[in-house]
Amino acid sequence: MGNYKHLNDHIYYSELYDKLTINDCEYWENQKDIHIENPKTKEEAERQSRIIFTNVAVELSLWLEKGERYLKKEEMIKQWMDRDRAKDEKLENAIEPKGIRCLQCSSPNMNCISRDLMTDSYDKEEVLFMFQCDKCNKRRAYWENGIEWQSKLYLCSKCQSEMDSAHIKKDNGVETTYSCQKCGHKETDSMDFSKKEEVVDPDFEMKRKKYCLSEEEGRKYSSEKINLEQMADLGKKWKEEEDNKELYDAIAKIKKLTVFELQNILSPICEKAGYVKLEFEKPEIQKDVTLGFSLQDSKSGRSEWDSVHDLQKLIRNTLKETNWRLMSDGVNYRLGFLTGKLRGVEGKEKLLNLVEKDFKKRDKLS
C-alpha cells in the first residue's frame, strides 16, 4: 500500500495520444474511394469526378487532423498528467479511518489493505479504504469521511424484489449468484480480475510515422496554418470592403487635419460669417483628441439663437469631410462669446466609426 500508480511518465501519455491520433486519421483514410481506371461511360466519368473530389476533401481533412493533433498534443498530455498526479496526491493524503472492528469476530485488529479512488453515491470520486480482519479475514470498506460503504441493492428482474447475493472466488475473479427469495429467480454475474495483456500493434511505429507529425513537420504545419488564416482574414477584409464600397470610399476622401491645419481652415470661414478671434485651448489627448475653442460674434443684431445655430451649421458643414466633428454638447453662448468642443480622430477603425455615424444620421434624415 502507498504505491499509487495513476501517474505515468511522459512517454506513456505520448504513445497514448499518438494511438488516438492514428485511430482518427485511419477513420479519414478509410473514407477514400478507389479511382475508376479509364472510365468508359458518362456515368463512370461522373462517378470518377465525385471520387476525385471526395479524395481531395479527405486529404485536406487528414492534413488538418494531423496538424491540429500535433498542436494540441503537449497541452493534452499536460492535462492528463496533472489529472493523474492529482489522483495520486488525493490517495496519498487521504486520512485513514480509525477504530474499525470486525463484524464477524468483533476483533479490533482490522488492517487497511488498500485504498482506491471510487465513485460514491453522489457520482463524486472519493477515497475508499478496504480493511481486513487479522483473525477471520472478513472485510469492511469505509470512505475517508468515516461512512461505511454499502453495496447497491440488486433487484430481481422478474418481480423487482431485493435479491440475496453469494460470492465464490475463482482463479482470476469472483462469481456472484443473486437469488430472489420471493420468486426463486437466480442470476449470475462474473468479474474477471486477471490482467489483460495489451494488444500490441506490430505496425504502430509505421503508422505513427505516417500520421503523427515530427517537430519539423509540426512547425511547417503551424506556419502554413498561420498563412492560411492571414489569407482568409485578407479575403474577408476585401469582401467587407467590397460590400461597403460607399463607406470605404468616404473614408478615403476624408481630409486628416492636424490642429494647425484645422485652425487655418476654420478661421477665415468663421470670420467671413462674422465670427472672429478663433482660439483653441490646450488639447485633451485620450482615445481621441478633444479641442476646446472660443470665438466672438461680430455681427451686430444677431440673436443668441441665430448666433449659436448659424455657427453650429457652419462648423458641421466645414468639417463634414474631415476627421474632426463638433461634439454633441454643441455651442454655448454668453453675451456674444461662443465656446464649444471639437473631437478629432485618427486610425482606420475610428475613421470607419466616424463615417458610419454620419451615414446613420443621413439615413434618418432621408
Residue 232 placed within a domain? no
Whether 252 maps to a domain, the answer reads no
Instruction: Look over the chain and give the mean of its residue pLDDT values, rounded to a whole number.
Output: 87
Q: Are 311 and 298 in contact (CB under 8 A)?
A: no
Q: Are 299 and 342 in contact (CB under 8 A)?
A: no
Rounded to whole angstroms, how far apart are CA atoms 246 and 3? 72
Strands 289-297, 337-344: parallel, antiparallel or unpaired by DSSP? antiparallel
136: helix, strand or coil? coil
At residue 217, the pLDDT reads: 94
Q: 129-172: per-residue pLDDT in tens? A: 999 999 998 888 999 988 888 877 788 888 988 888 776 766 66
Asked whether residue 230 is domain-assigned, the answer is no
Average pLDDT over residues 4-15: 91
Whether residue 325 lies inside any domain: the answer is: yes
Q: Are 268 and 323 in contact (CB under 8 A)?
A: no
Query: 33, 61, 93 — which closes off a domain?
Result: 93
Q: Which residues contact 322 (CB under 8 A, 6 or more apart)?
A: 254, 255, 256, 257, 262, 265
- The number of C-alpha atoms within 13 Å of 326 and in the hemisphere containing its C-beta is 20
pLDDT band at 55 (very low <50, low <70, confident <90, very high): confident
Count other Cβ atoms within 10 Å, centred on residue 285.
Answer: 10
Number of domains in the chain: 3
Q: Is the pLDDT of residue 38 over 80?
A: no
- 136 belongs to a structural domain: yes
What pLDDT score does 188 carry? 87
pLDDT number for residue 233: 77
Percentages (nearest 5) of helix, strand, coil residues in the chain = 45, 25, 30
My answer on whether 76 and 114 are in the same domain is: no
**Whether pLDDT at 36 is above 80:** no
| pLDDT at residue number 54 | 82
- Predicted confidence band of residue 232 (pLDDT cuts 50, 70, 90): confident
Q: Which structural domain range is residue 136 located in?
A: 110-192
Asked if residue 324 belongs to a domain, the reply is: yes
In this structure, is residue 174 part of a structural domain?
yes
Q: What value does the mean pLDDT take over residues 36-64?
A: 81
The CATH number given to whatever domain includes residue 287 is 3.30.980
